[in-house]
Amino acid sequence: MGPKHTLPGLPDLGRCLVMGVVNVTPDSFSDGGAWFDPDRAVEHGTRLVEEGADIVDVGGESTRPGAQRVSADEELRRVEPVVRELVARGAAVSVDTMRAEVAERAVEAGAVLVNDVSGGLADPAMARLVASSGVAYVLMHWRGHSHDMQSRAVYTDVVQEVLDELRDRMEAMISAGVDPGQIVLDPGLGFSKRPEQAHNWALLHHLERFHELDRPVLVAGSRKRFLSRLLGDPEGGDRPFTGCDAATAAVTTLAADRGAWAVRVHDVRPNADAVRVAAAWADGGASLDEGRAEPVNRGGL
């Protein structure tokens, strides 16, 4: 197990947290369009909490490989009402955005975490917003926007280079006024990481090395192509994304055992079960109450 960290505004449950994904987009890689309607997105987020999500991550811009950016106005139109309503229902909400303007409005609406896949590189104003708001902040390893990120997936030593680049970005954010205690690090599985070169597996195999940076680590591998490629289909192609949920739960169990602070997933219930199994295994059941973990639905909504 990794070091324990407490983050402002976020639950501290003594185990790996589960972040459930709500994509308010028409084109996300695994569920684009399913929750594009705001009311459906809110109901989906509510259901994820009922299934065991500790945090609900709301995003209005697809970051799948090849995706083109939407305008800030459109991104705001998509996410702000969903964030506001989920907060009103008692959820701990994260906003998945690279834009400081969108992050600011989401925080004003009650979001307690900004999940920035660009690590502050896409918008120079992000560091100031995070510093002034005091909100928790996910800083992901990133080498470029979705339309060309895979062309930048060139490494001599992927683990060392990702570690060094994350350290550099963290130091830059701290220099800009962000408190180190606000920061969560994400090695960026699938972002400028080639599945055919096993970049993502190398990062997972060496996940414990990221504890060298003394910050909590988020693992976001759910339904990503490196799982699809690993499992395959009978015709020799990649398995469909939605056929990778059991593999995602396996990644969750192993990541939790290796000290991940949280996992970001699409199918919440099996991953909520997985983190409880990992926690009970890790301490030999010492944290259980008459053999029981805390129930999946804690009645927050």
| Active site residue ranges | 224, 264
Sign of the dihedral defined by the CA atoms of residues 158, 182, 216, 174, in that order: positive
Q: What are the tokens at 48?
A: 């994820």
Taking alpha carbons only, the member of 216, 193, 212, 215 closest to residue 203 is 193
Q: 21-57 burial, b if ≥16 CB within 10 A, otherwise e? A: bbbbbeebbbbeebbbebeebbebbbebbbbbbbbbb
Residue 20, SS3 per DSSP: strand
Nearest to 50 by CA among 272, 214, 237: 272
